Amino acid sequence: MIRIMLCCASGMSTSLLVEKMKKAAKEENIEVEIWAVGANEVKANADKADIILLGPQVRYAQKKIESEAPGVPVANIGMREYGMMNGAAVLKQALEIVEKK
C-alpha cells in the first residue's frame, strides 16, 4: 500500500482532490491511503507517508516541509491538475515519484 499525504494551507481545500484520487485508485485497483493535512501538521504526519504532495498554496514552504520529513519525497502538484481537480493525474504523479525512490 502506498501512503500519499497532500498538504495545503489548512487541509481543507485538498479534500475534493483526495476523494478524486481515491476514486481513480479504486478504478485502477491500486491500493493507496490518501489524506490531506495543513502545512502545520506535516511534521506530525510525515512518518506515515511514502510521499508528500504540496498544493499551490504551500508551494513556497517546500524546503521547510522537506526538512520536517527527511527521507520522504516532497513534490508540488501541478497548477493545472490542482485547478482541474484531476485526481487521476495527481495519483499518477505520486506513483511515479514513489516508484523512482
Band (pLDDT 50/70/90 cuts) for residue 75 is very high
Average pLDDT of every residue of the chain? 94
pLDDT of residue 11: 66
Domains in the chain (CATH in brackets) are 2-100 (3.40.50.2300)
Give the C-alpha separation, 10 to 19, whole Å.
Answer: 16
Residues 23-64: tens digit of each pLDDT: 999 999 999 999 999 989 999 999 999 999 999 999 999 999
pLDDT of residue 73: 97
**C-alpha cell read off for 45:** 504526519
pLDDT of residue 88: 98
Global pTM value: 0.94
DSSP characters over 3-32: EEEEEESSSSTTHHHHHHHHHHHHHTT--E
Give the C-alpha separation, 28 to 33, whole Å.
Answer: 14
pLDDT of residue 10: 78
> Do residues 59 and 76 make contact, with C-beta atoms less than 8 angstroms apart?
yes
Q: Which of 4, 5, 7, 8 is catalytic?
A: 8
Residues 5-24: tens digit of each pLDDT: 999 987 677 899 999 999 99
Per-residue pLDDT at 101 exceeds 90: no
**Is 7 annotated in the active site?**
no
